[in-house]
Structure 1
Amino acid sequence: MYKVYFRQAMQMLRQNKFFSIVYITGTGLAITMVMVLAILYYFRTADIAPETNRDRMMIVQHGKVNNKKGQGYGSSKLSYPTIKECFYRMQTPEAVTAILPIGEQSEFIQVQGNNDVYNGLVMGTDAAFWKVFQFSFLSGIPYTEEEFISGIKKAVLNESLARRLFNTSDAAGKTFMLNFEEYIVSGVVKDIPSIAKYSYAEMWIPFTTRPLQIQGGSWCDYILGHMKVCILAKKPGDFDAIRQEAKELCRRYNTTTVQYDFVLNNQPDTVFHAWMSEGDSFNSPELLKIYLQIILIILLLLLVPSINLTGMTASRMKKRMEELGIRKAFGAENRTLLMQILYENLLLTFLGGLAGLLGSYILIYLLKGWLLGNYNWDGSSLTASIDLSPGMLINPAIFGYTLIFCLVLNLMSALVPAWRALRRPIVDAINDK
């Protein structure tokens, strides 16, 4: 029976090429847009190495200072003195790490005896960084806590940079020049994707080698600066307790400051909330508003095409009235005719889903620089390359949920017109009244 339905559906597709193309295209576009949003959400929030613990990670990416006299305020990233007082002292989390992000200054990398100079992406970290993020070392080891405190000039390179400088990934112990200062390679790690926003770089060094950058700005009494904080909770259920502890430590810290109070704006944030509030360092995100906007966008992307497809299906049912009336006159049951129509719709939806899946991958690939790249405040790129593996793109769960939702909507768009058409008397249907 199902083979008969399939053959009839294929025949109907060939007979109504224009309708089939429009139907498949409409379904495909809806799935493409939703899939692009879902893939972006997955890239920014899923556990992707080396950020394999995003589900229990919290971020402090900026802070605000209020004048104690109530005269104005400002915002920026954090300074190292503030981080030491407000976050390194925390007891609730499993680990706390501070980073000096890439792009804070121009980086000139050179091997002695070679005139080629490479402008690399360098991140400053502490020793806890290697506990919070799970890197895969190909050679050597990360710098230790003692080396970090002493400000020793050691560095961890990614594989691509190591091969570029030394023509090998086994570069531990070799030396190179960074901004005309000699550094020793402590270890080499596998390249990581640029979507690992809080750990991505080509080189990682102890930020204690850059005391002027981490001390903060004099305009705010050195409370704010250029640094971010990543906090690894023992479990997601600890998030509220971590916020409360951070709030209390900040309150104590403010009793020691002279002119300004440090304000966290409800941070630390989850990875998703930090992503949503990247462009606003003054205000905390209105989460309910964000969720409603996302739901509204998804519904519009799915419902508008479905409404249009309902009208198209109703129009096609009107043209098929004579066919349905004749088949009913020869004894065809409404159930049989309805199943055939729904089967045709199922096939169209499935083809539209495949087209949408392919379209989403093509769109992500073509626009990956814009959608997935990291950029500095001045618009300059902070991404050496964007490599997307099949494992990152292929997410059966996301595609499955999107296809099922579209299938339900499209089946409903076909069911109502078909049922109304089949309820018409045989004589009226044959005469198309």
Structure 2
Amino acid sequence: MLKQNKFISIISIAGTSLAIMMIMVLIVSESIKNVSIAPEPNRERTMYMRYEIKKGKETKNTNINSAISYEIYKGYLSDLKEPELVSIQSNGWDKSQISTSENQMDRKAMNVKSTDANFWKIMSLSFIEGSPFSEEDFKSGLKKTVITERTAKELYGNQRALGKTINIDFKPYIIVGIVKDISPIFKFAYTDIYIPYTSKGGFEKNGFEILLLAKNKKDFEAISEEIRTAERKFNVTDSEWNLTLLGPYNHSIYLLNTNNNEPDIKGNARKNIFIFSILLLIPAINLSSFSLSRIRKRTEEIGVRKAFGAKRYVILFQVLYENFITSLIGGIIGLILSYIIVIWLKQWLLGIDTDGTLPLETLVSLPIFFAVFIVCILLNLLSAGIPAYKASKIKIVDSLNRNNL
């Protein structure tokens, strides 16, 4: 069938591949942001929060923020019973002045994440040497640090970095572990240097992001109810300030809005449905003309088959099956092209610098292949469904005379 009219076949496959490429760029981008793989293997079980606090009933100049104050965390959220683990961390994108003890004048600006010992239980970082700082180190506020492989090479070249001392904002820290480099797409795991937040003076006055790890997704509702209880407890005991704890949200919802506003879940769903509909319908309408042209050249064959007893559904499924093969070929090409586009435009699509990497595991996964298959079926039904239905309904005489199609 593909060889009978090579030009139409090439155009059909090219049109299908471009249509699927545009759809898969969106699907692959969303998958990269939300897939649960190391170093963030628990994304599907992790919940996040924002908060709003205002004086009394004042409504002016109030902001929603994801960095919850340590005072609120310690007093109302640190002893939650429903989550399996609770961890807090500072923004890992904050820059600090880093230097080695051997060359303190050569300072470099690097990202430092302040966190706790539970961070290492929620995340799954691959250690090249050493180990993370322990719970005892954290409680004691010891100045111990874990750095990435890239940081170690930048500071010490080919020398061994484990056990050496580096200065973080002019404070000496001992390197106890070295981990493999992490892609910036893993927002909550990514940084250059990890330290216990208790090792920094005045940490009680800072704000932290809270990560709540559920035992399973069924516990999300119970965790939300416990958060509401903590919120009511604060508002009962504090007569001056009014606290609103927003969420907790699952990973995908939390990432919907990065401007510290309440996520617009319904609006985002409507937007995605509209975009996918446009990306499916316009190519399908264009490709349907090629399907119709191909079927017109086979009307005699269809008439003969029906004359020998072929049922309508047999003709219908044959046309859809043959067109699906074309869609599947285009789908494979479109998926490969979507990978190229995502890697090429990663800064625009994912907010990753040009020197940032995309792990292979984020690109190649069973859900992505399943999505390609579903898109191929939808595009096949939309582009070939009406021509196939008309071909199955045409009378035998009209088929043999090439009429009414």
> TM-score normalised to the size of structure 1?
0.81
The code of the aligned residue for 1:413 comes to S
Name the CA distance, whole Å, in 1 between partners of 2:73 and 2:82: 16
Q: 1:420 aligns with which of 381, 386, 390?
A: 390
Match of 2:12 in 1: 23
Tell me the distance in 1 between the aligned counterparts of 2:317 and 2:221. 52
Q: Does 1:199 align with 2:180?
A: no
Aligned-partner Cα distance in 2 for 1:84–1:193: 31
| Corresponding residue number in structure 2 for 1:163 | 153
C-alpha distance in 1 between matches for 2:228 and 2:304: 77
Q: Distance in 1 between matches of 2:383 and 2:117?
A: 58
- Among 211, 221, 224, which residue is 1:230 paired with? 211
Work out the number of aligned pairs and report it: 397
Helix, strand or coil: the match of 2:4? helix
Superposed CA deviations along residues 301-348 of structure 1, whole A, max 9, x for unmatched, are 223322322233224544x2xx63388579985859777754542332
Aligned equivalent of 2:55, options 64, 67, 70: 67
Q: What percentage of aligned pairs have identical amino acids? A: 33
Deviations 1:153-179 (A, max 9, x none): 221101221122223585331111222
Query: Please, which runs of 5 or more residues in structure 2 have no aligned partner?
Result: none
How big is the shift at 1:250?
Answer: 2.4
What amino acid maps onto 1:202 in structure 2?
D
2:376 aligned residue (406, 411, 423): 406
- Structure 1 position 324 matched with structure 2 position 299: yes
What is the Cα deviation at residue 384 of structure 1? Answer: 9.0
Over 3 Å counting, the alpha-carbon distance change for 1:197 and 1:97 in structure 2 is same
In 2: Cα distance, 1:337 partner to 1:258 partner: 75
User: Matches of 1:250 and 1:190 in 2, distance apart?
Assistant: 39
CA deviation string 1:93-135 (max 9, x = no partner): 111111001233x322222334543321111111221122122
Residue type of the alignment partner of 2:299: L
SS at match of 2:129: strand
Whole-Å Cα distance in 2 between the matches of residues 273 and 339 of structure 1?
40
Deviation at 1:357, TM superposition (A): 0.7
Q: Which residue of the partner structure matches residue 93 of structure 2?
A: 103
3-state SS, counterpart of residue 12 of structure 1: coil
Amino acid at match of 1:370: W
Cα distance change on mapping 1:203 and 1:13 into 2, 3 Å: farther
1:279 aligns with 2:259: yes
- Residues 117 and 134 of structure 2 are in contact (CA less than 8 Å); yes or no, is this contact kept in structure 1? yes
Mapped partners of 1:75, 1:211: distance in 2: 26
Q: What TM-score results when the alignment is normalised by the length of structure 2?
A: 0.86
Ranges in structure 1 where 5+ consecutive residues have no aligned partner: 1-8, 217-224, 375-382
For residues 139 and 38 of structure 1, what CA distance do their matches in structure 2 show? Answer: 36
Superposed displacement of residue 300, structure 1: 2.9
Instruction: Give 2:175's aligned residue.
Output: 185
Which one of the candidate residues 224, 238, 250 is aligned to 1:270? 250
Distance 1:339 1:263 in 2: 56
Moved more, 340-349 or 178-187: 340-349
Alpha carbons of 1:384 and 1:78: their partners in 2 closer, same or farther (altered >3 Å)?
farther
| CA distance, structure 2, for counterparts of residue 188 and residue 177 of structure 1 | 16
Pick from 134, 153, 159 the counterpart of residue 143 of structure 2.
153
- The alignment's C-alpha RMSD in Å is 3.0
Tell me which residue corresponds to 1:10: 2
2:234 to 253, 264, 273: 253
Structure 2: which amino acid aligns with 1:311?
S
Question: What per-residue deviation string (whole Å, max 9, x for no partner) do you get for residues 48-88 of structure 1?
Answer: 1121111211112x311122143533332211111112221
- 85-94 or 249-258: which moved more? 249-258
1:209 corresponds in structure 2 to 199
Give the whole-Å Cα distance in 1 for the aligned partners of 2:324 and 2:64.
54
Whether the 8 Å contact between 1:329 and 1:426 is mirrored in structure 2 is no
For 1:84, which of 74, 81, 85 is the aligned residue?
74
CA distance in 1, matches of 2:138, 2:72: 18
- Contact kept, 8 Å, 1:121 with 1:203, in 2: the verdict is yes
Q: CA deviation at 1:90?
A: 0.9
